[in-house]
Amino acid sequence: MNVYEMLNYLGIKLKDAGHVKYPPGECMEAINDAISEVSSMLLKMDQEYFTGSVTMTPSSSGVELPDDYVFAVELSDDNGPIRFGNSLDRFSLSLDDSAYSWLYDGVSKGDNVYIRGNKIYFPESATKTHTLFYARAHPLVHAARPAAVGTATITFPAARNLGWISDVDDYYNQATIDIISGTGVGTSAKVLDYVGLTRVATLTTDWPVEPDTDSKYQIRCELPVYPNLHRIVCRLAIVDLLDDEKKEKRARMKLHNALETIADRQTQNSSGQR
């Protein structure tokens, strides 16, 4: 379901198709709250539905992790994967005059890589560029007509949109933008970089078919369609708006069953079953 379909579903179920009692902005807030809740549950199950990657060059003061980082999936250089250190391998983390670093008698030691706080620390011998693959937080979704479009860019509008638009740099990095109506309908693109001040998203590739300012786009909800997680998100949004305990129990039972189905499928995949 795209953002407009979700909003329409809420209007029908709430018997408020014109969104008079429950305005679109309030409905979108409830939808995004539900998406955040469900995506967090999937991440706790180690389900890597929302993944990203970033290249980094080792630094003696550590390298900051992306803002949307949740947990590491793999770190590698051109020789292959790198092992992360565990708590038993660590030397004490000390604070010197310049920065935090892994120290032993004043010198960085060990061959492992460590994550602590919002930084990743490399051994002193590491000099190559590394790629970190990680599970990332799901961005808030929205839909609108773009303020401007370029060959490999899109500018989000300042107003007249469904859902909140972030002014934080890099917030939409690695999110997927779908064109859902108008010129370019059916095409998608992934965000390489986002500048919050200008609301300009630079894409990883040129648009397959360049949309225009009359097209409608969305930030994609990346929850798996099967087993009905998009509709379950809508049901959770509805009970949030209605504050109906009875309906909430039914919605959460459906969510529980869906998550069990996903967990079972993961078990089958890991064991080679179908």
Tokens standing for residue 89: 């391998």
- Is 15 inside a domain boundary? yes
- Is 266 inside a domain boundary? no
Residue 96 sits in the same domain as residue 210: no
Give the pLDDT confidence score for residue 255 in this predicted structure: 95
Tokens standing for residue 109: 């030691």
Domain finish residue from 187, 219, 251: 219
pLDDT in tens, 211-233: 999 999 999 999 988 888 999 99
Domain housing 178: 3-47+138-219
Give, as one character, the DSSP assignment of residue 89: G
CB 141 within 8 A of CB 163: yes
Give the pLDDT confidence score for residue 94 in this predicted structure: 46
257 has pLDDT over 90: yes
Residue 148 sits in the same domain as residue 114: no
Give the pLDDT confidence score for residue 55 in this predicted structure: 93
Residue 62 sits in the same domain as residue 20: no
- Is 161 inside a domain boundary? yes
- Show the beta-strand stretches assigned E in 114-227: 114-116, 119-121, 130-136, 143-144, 148-150, 153-155, 176-181, 188-195, 200-203, 216-219
Global pTM?
0.84
> How many Å apart are CA 119 and CA 11, to the nearest integer?
44
pLDDT in tens, 139-161: 999 999 999 999 999 999 998 88
pLDDT level of residue 59 (50, 70, 90 thresholds): confident
Helices 24-44 + 3-13 axis angle, to 10: 110
Residue 128 sits in the same domain as residue 144: no
